[in-house]
């Protein structure tokens, strides 16, 4: 059974998702969620994943409050109550 989760998009990516701030996507891992997002919104492709298929270095992805880079990255499991938030990476010092 597919798990549907809420995905929150930053302002900069909303133009590639019909202007929506929040979308629903199906999958049991962050990677599967991304695949479903790309199926729904193909223009997000270069924004979410790098050329090597990993999470793009200019975004941060959170499952609830946890950065998936410190979990299992794209293999991070998700459940129906989870929220995936995509945020632009902020550089500075």
> Taking the chain (93 residues) in consecutive chunks of 10 residues, what is each chunk's mean pLDDT?
91 96 97 97 93 93 97 97 93 64
pTM for the full predicted model: 0.93
pLDDT, residue 12, reads 93
What range does the domain containing 64 cover? 4-88
User: The domain that contains 29 carries what CATH number?
Assistant: 3.10.20.30
Closest of 89, 84, 49 to residue 63, by C-alpha = 84
Tokens of 57: 């270095």
Question: Count of domains in the chain?
Answer: 1
pLDDT, residue 80, reads 92
- The dihedral of CA 8, 11, 12, 14: what is its sign? positive
Cα(25)–Cα(51) distance, integer angstroms: 22
In a domain, 20, yes or no: yes
In a domain, 30, yes or no: yes
In a domain, 93, yes or no: no
Beta carbons within 10 angstroms of residue 87's beta carbon? 15
């Amino acid at each position: 059974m597919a798990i549907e989760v809420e995905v929150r998009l930053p302002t900069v990516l909303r133009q590639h998702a019909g202007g929506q701030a929040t979308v629903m996507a199906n999958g049991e891992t962050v990677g599967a969620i991304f695949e479903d997002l790309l199926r729904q919104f193909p223009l997000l492709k270069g924004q979410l994943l790098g050329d090597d298929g990993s999470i793009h270095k200019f975004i941060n992805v959170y499952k609830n409050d946890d950065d998936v880079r410190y979990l299992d990255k794209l293999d991070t499991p998700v459940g129906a109550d989870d929220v995936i938030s995509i945020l632009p990476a902020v550089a500075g010092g």
